[in-house]
Structure 1
Amino acid sequence: MAYTIEKREMGYLLFTIARSEKRNAINYEVMQGLTEAIKLANETDIKALVITGIGDHAFCSGGDLSVFHRLETKEDAYQMLSKMGNILYSLLTLPKPTLALMNGIALGGGCELAAACDFRLARTGIKAGFVHGKQAITTGWGGGSIVAEKFAASKAMKLLMDAELHTAEYLTEIGFIDGLFAYDSLLACETYLANLLSNDPRVLQSYKKVWIRKWEEAKLSERIEEEVNNCAVLWEGDVHIGHVKKFLSKKTMNKD
């Protein structure tokens, strides 16, 4: 199983990507799992949704190129990008608090997943970055539009355009990460959420809907769709395809 879903005693749902051998990269099974988790999180007895990755090395390393490398045309790429873009928009607009528990490195789409959550906690010493530009593509799951909506323009723009990995400490300074922890990730998560989860769920939902209404009025869904289209065009470019082939070649050599 590529993921697990667990209802925790405090009343939140814990979704864990369980692909340690792939640094918790997202494939179609994980996409299905996220869809299932978001649906379950809508149930009345669930107060919040927490997303993490198994182990302590990776939160999520983005899309699994060993699966998605087969998508060479913009039409094929669009199908995958649009599917994940819709999932992240559903996560963003879930009328419950959401938290990305970044227990390890977050790369590319992993940062998009984290950005779609309301809060981000990270282990000290990890790195994270929107590294898409190094592969000659942009964010394609809506992460760029989400970051542009949530954070100061200059900070958001530099995060995306630099395409670099940054330390958790730096990302905390600029507001992308809300808190750091050193040891037990679930303990840190539950400590962070304790006061929030002690309130009536209807209060939490009412506050979350303030932001959902804001994002709807800002036509964020339409902007994400445009982002998906732009990435699909770049996806079929020779430069990106070359980067993917180089990546897969390195993986094959490492296995040998």
Structure 2
Amino acid sequence: MDPYIITKEKDGVLLFTINRPDRRNAINYEVMSGLEKAIDMAAENDVKVFAITGAGDQAFCSGGDLSAFHRLKTEEEAYGMLSRMAGILYKLLVLPKPTIAILNGSAVGGGCEIASACDFRIGREGMKAGFVQGNLAITTGWGGGSILLEKIPQNIAMKMLLDAKIYTAEELRGFGFIHYIYKNHPIDACLSFMKGSLNKESPVLEAYKSLLNKKWELLSMRERMGEEAARCAVLWEDDAHHKKVDEFMNKKK
């Protein structure tokens, strides 16, 4: 089974699906490469909107695949992975097309970071999400913390990051993290939510996105996301993180 699927939907939507439902759509190196490929494809002229979702109805993305990344022990080893994904999410953040995360199921840890990098987020009724990295004795490491602090009110963002809790779809909508809760098919929900944008000419969409991207440039987001990855890498090497991961992995056995 391919770890990701890239499809061109109707009305100019390019869809990237994380296709690892047996791993709760966790991110490994193959998915990282696939997302980078899809982002490059989304820059093509016939694409109006870039969407990201997960396979199945249980999980959007559970963050980094611990079975793939647990072998990373040192700060240097962790930084290689973290900085690469932070770079990919920055490319997603400044993609010259509108972007949307379709949260078809739970989004935790790095899954929330991916969603944060999108312009819009819609969630299936009953889904939950949270920046739970603190429970593993690390911080957000893909740049998602820096992004979150700019996307929703600062006090709410800080509370989400510090508490490392899971929130309901209704709570997330109240925070401004989710913009719409849907009940129907995820692609239909995406098309419905983005309908007003999809009937506009591409140059109009790109012109407005360029205004937003100028903001990210002025806020030095690329540098801030890189620094975030570096800080996480320091914590990654600490015994406290490895102990928490071992405990988590043993619970799953």
Work out whether the TM-score is over 0.5. Answer: yes
2:201 corresponds to which residue? Answer: 200
Report the CA distance between 1:183 and its aligned residue.
2.4
5 Å matches for 1:85-234?
A: 85-234=86-235
Task: Give the whole-Å Cα distance in 2 for the aligned partners of 1:32 and 1:230.
Answer: 23
Secondary structure, aligned partner of 2:146: helix
Q: Does 1:40 align with 2:76?
A: no
Count residues with an aligned counterpart: 252
Aligned to 1:84: 85
For 2:216 and 2:183, locate their aligned partners in 1 and report how far apart those are by CA, in whole Å: 33
Alignment of 1:8-23 (within 5 A): 8-23=9-24
AA of the residue aligned to 2:6: I
SS of the residue aligned with 2:194?
helix
d(CA) in 2 for partners of 1:89, 1:213: 13
Alignment deviations for residues 81-100 of structure 1 (CA, whole Å, 9 cap, x no partner): 00000000000000000000
**Comparing 87-96 and 151-160, the one that deviates more:** 151-160
Structure 2 residue matching 1:16: 3-state secondary structure:
strand
Q: Deviations over 1:167-209 (max 9, x none)?
A: 0100101101000001211111111111111001000000001
Q: Distance in 2 between matches of 1:77 and 1:111?
A: 19
CA distance, structure 2, for counterparts of residue 122 and residue 110 of structure 1: 13
Per the alignment, residue 70 of structure 2 pairs with 69
Which secondary structure state, in structure 2, belongs to the residue aligned with residue 10 of structure 1? helix
Root-mean-square deviation (CA, aligned residues, Å) is: 0.7
* CA deviation vs aligned residue, 1:130-156 (integer Å, no higher than 9, x gap): 000000000000000001122211011
Report sequence identity in percent: 55
Counterpart CA distance in 1 for 2:245 and 2:174 is 33
Name the SS of the counterpart of 1:96 in structure 2: coil
Aligned equivalents of 2:60, 2:78: Cα separation in 1: 24
Q: Which moved more, 1:75-84 or 1:152-161?
A: 152-161
Where does 1:19-34 land on structure 2 (aligned, <5 Å)?
19-34=20-35
Task: Work out the CA distance in 2 between the residues paired with 1:39 and 1:153.
Answer: 31
Report the counterpart of residue 247 of structure 2 in structure 1.
246
Q: CA deviation at 1:250?
A: 2.3
TM-score for both structures, normalised by structure 1: 0.97
CA distance in 1, matches of 2:21, 2:226: 31
CA offsets, 1:7-66, max 9 Å, x none?
112111000000000000000000011001000000011111000000000000000000
TM-score by length of 2: 0.98
